[in-house]
Structure 1
């Protein structure tokens, strides 16, 4: 009855949990299957991702005969660690100096891009200037010009200044990036203005607000841009190949290409050199991988 009252002391019937019974059991089994399938796909993907690195190390520590042998062995019968010594002792490659040149180029370009492009982006986003939008549009238009169009003029300028076979010719043309400036400008547009206004109340100008407020609170984004710029500078090949016309100014990518010529192919040196050359990239990726994702989400690019 609708108006019935439960007697005093009577217990209310317990409700059966929604997950109990056959239906809940099926849901639990399905969740476990999905989890196993996800981890299985991730495991297979990880193995496929690591195969090239395994091949580099395996072939780099093998003899040329084992590398080209039709009979495949998972590990070389005799690990030839002397291949590393042979690579660094090669007087034609200058691998040690090439590594140093790549480090200098990548680090100095990354530092320059972070400083110059961040200041340019901050100025376009915050400093009132009637031609700011025109300058920004010019930067965006420059992104639409193919690199092949500006390659020859850039080489002529560098050659006129006498920077061929010089680290200045490798580093200075890469100290500015229109795309990085665009990213910084979009990021600073979304930066909280209240923090900068508080800095101006304390007597700080644009430079003081940038250096003391904006920069310390944007380290994640700066780290993401630094990782991307370092990877680009380290992997550059065409420009260092044209500018570095003497082996003293080679970067590591150019040095590796010298091991593969029309006359000779030093296979084991090529593999061990490639394995060594990717170690800085692996370290940068391991330490800064989370910033790469944050850099995209914080860049201000919508859609």
Structure 2
């Protein structure tokens, strides 16, 4: 009979540890390479955007590609804001007002609706929740014309009310809030009720202060959607003074002329607010999505 000595077992164990370390190093190296490739692919469009925004049309459409313009055209910025045909500064302000107003309104309305569906005992709560989910299955094209007719009859064309109020409810955001509140600790709310608070008091004084991460995540997503909205502002904002930034961008590309450096500069300026919002709130964005209760 052959027996394994302790030295042989220790040698085998050491080899296993070394093999595991090598596998971990190889795995980490592969992860770093994949991450680097993904980051490169993500940053290439931004590089092209900035490069073309600071170039002339001849450099943009020329046969020979130049990594970065030797003569940076800083005048493209002043040309963008001095263009008499499009008040780009006004369109930026309109987009800011619309995006911020929609963010505040949707957070308030959808968080209250989600909290009510998750916490207030009502025998028809599930039916109402299923009706809210049913709105997600209705294409926006089906409700677009009736919504426009309603807004037009109210005289809200070319107004902030017409741009903002029809979008103050989101079935998907309501669903996310309900999922989050279902996982919120009930003990905190029960302690609030012991102190004499009702549903509104518990929501405002206990739930909201302890859910700022999730609210920040929803605010980021809602702000980006409001800023990037195009079709509805295009139809409602018929006067140039009511154009949002996305509508203003489309005006630089017509059947007659395409001013490339202006389009790229306007695009670069228009995404700056989104970049700042994402950079400052990305941590809360990831944490908030992780807290929605949606797995996999």
| TM-score, structure 1 as length reference | 0.91
Task: Give a deviation string over 1:88-134, Cα, whole Å, max 9, x none.
Answer: 01111111011111111111100000001101111111112232222
Q: Aligned equivalents of 1:223 and 1:230: distance in 2?
A: 10
Equivalent residue for 2:172, pick from 175, 179, 186:
179
The residue correspondences of 1:88-103 to structure 2 (distance < 5 A) are 88-103=81-96
What SS does the aligned partner of 1:278 have? helix
Find the counterpart in structure 2 of residue 287 from structure 1: 280
Length, aligned pairs only: 291
Paired position in structure 1 for 2:32: 39
1:254 pairs with one of 223, 247, 251? 247
| Residue 60 of structure 1 pairs with residue 53 of structure 2 | yes
Residue 200 (structure 1) aligned with residue 196 (structure 2): no
How far apart are 1:20 and its partner, in Å?
4.0
Match of 1:5 in 2: none
The structure with the greater share of residues assigned to helix is 2
CA RMSD of aligned residues (A): 1.9
1:187 and 1:30 map into 2 onto residues whose CA distance is 39
Gaps of 5+ in 1: 1-11
Q: After the TM superposition, which residues 1-303 of structure 1 pair with which residues of structure 2 at under 5 Å, given as runs? A: 16=10, 20=14, 24-302=17-295
Alignment partners' CA distance in 2, 1:300 and 1:29 = 37
**In the superposition, relative to structure 1, how do residues 25 and 198 fare at CA in structure 2: closer, same or farther (>3 Å)?**
closer
Flag the structure with larger Rg.
Answer: 1
Shift of 1:296: 2.7
Q: Which stretch of the first structure deviates more once superposed, 271-280 or 131-140?
A: 131-140
Aligned equivalents of 1:36 and 1:213: distance in 2?
45
Change (3 A) 1:178 1:25: closer
Q: How far apart are residue 25 of structure 1 and its match?
A: 4.3
What's the offset of the Cα at 1:31? 3.0
Cα drift, residue 16 of structure 1: 4.2
- Deviation of 1:48 (Å): 1.1
Q: How far apart in 2 are the matches of 1:66 and 1:19?
A: 63
- Residue 239 (structure 1) shift: 0.5
1:19, CA displacement in angstroms? Answer: 6.1
2:189 aligns to what SS in structure 1? helix
* Equivalence for 1:4: none
